[in-house]
Amino acid sequence: MRRWLSLALVWLLVPLAAAAQTSTAGVRINGVTTWPSARVLNNFDLALTGVRLTGSNGSLTVLGRGDGQDEDLTLDFNATANTIGFSSSTGVTTWTWTGLTTIDFGSNGVRLSQDADGAITFAGLGNGSDEDLTINLDDTANTIVLSSSTGVTAIGLTDNTIDFGATGAVRPRALFLAQPSVTVGSGTGVTVDDTGSVRDVVYKVTVTFSNVTTNGTTHDLTLATLPAKTFIQHILADVTTPYVCADTCTTATLSGTVGSAAGGTGYLLSFDLDAAAAQFGDAAAELGSSLNPSTMPTSLGALGAWASTIPVSFRITSAVGDLATLGVTNLNAGAITFYITTIKMP
């Protein structure tokens, strides 16, 4: 009987050890070697078409061995202090948590939950007010809806230097506010195209002497290009550093103008660039005919163009001597900042 049991035990263990890709370290349970001759299992298969477990240098890999895609997942307990790393060598890009509705990050942290219908909620679990914020990605076409079930009436920013959007193209298309909004019209043949978006913009741009590289006594620069249906309401030029000629041109003869085309004066009449730091456009007498209150076309300001874009052009002029030679500026000082206020029709 004992001989039969010994043979049966050998019959069970020898194939397992051979299939396990043995090394020389030994299997330990609670610090005790349990495998004869100090052998260790590098791979362990749970059924022929189940899952393979593989250990290597402080990591554990779980690999599918079924009749489907057989992805793998590695948990690394060794590479980085205080960190467990998750990775895959089979191209996994998506994890699916079947049946999981809530994840808590710490007992006093944040709860992340989903409603199984396209919405995700962040809820505080700390020792304060514990508000929540829900982001609905499903119910409204082309719209992400933010809401709260805890009475939130404001979303505050702790740093008053934070901007919504950014300079250039990365910015929201439009902003709609509730308090100044109008009650929309309705009726047969009536289509409300814009319920009241914020359309006033103040644009700021700074130009220095290094921009002046045109050979000759004038140099033109497009400060901005107004989109169609835009009224320019006001412009102010702040000469922060007087312009100075280093060679060829004469400092005392430098001036500037701003208009809707190169050399135009419709927005700002000729102003002194070289005398001292000063502001121009803060008095009616300094404004061109398009923005001077006595001659301004409308109370909104001057329409650039209804169906096309139009430039806002700044010209610097030297009455004596060229501003640049062979594309190199003859100036060695000067800076001016422009503030342009516009309103665009929807």
In the structure, how many helices (H) and strands (E) does the chain have?
Answer: 1, 23
Q: Which residue, 217, 171, 203, is CA-closest to 311?
A: 203
Q: Lowest-confidence range among 28-37, 90-99, 325-334? A: 28-37
DSSP β-ladder status, 302-303 and 324-325: unpaired
Percent of the chain with pLDDT over 90: 62
C-alpha 187: how far from chain center: 40
Q: pLDDT digit string (tens) for 132-177?
A: 999 999 999 988 999 999 989 888 877 777 777 776 667 778 888 8
Q: What's this model's pTM, rounded to 2 decimal places?
A: 0.68
Mean pLDDT score of the chain: 86
CB-based contact 330:321 (threshold 8 Å) = yes
Q: Is pLDDT at 301 greater than 80 in this prediction?
A: yes
User: Given this model, what pLDDT does residue 39 score?
Assistant: 52
Q: What is the pLDDT of residues 28-81, one digit of tens each?
A: 444 455 555 445 667 788 878 888 888 889 999 999 989 999 999 999 999 999
Q: How far is CA 97 from the centre of its chain?
A: 29
What is the layout of strands, in order, in the sheet containing 59-64?
Answer: 43-46, 51-56, 59-64, 72-76, 85-87
Q: Residue 298: CB partners within 8 Å, gap ≥ 6?
A: 231
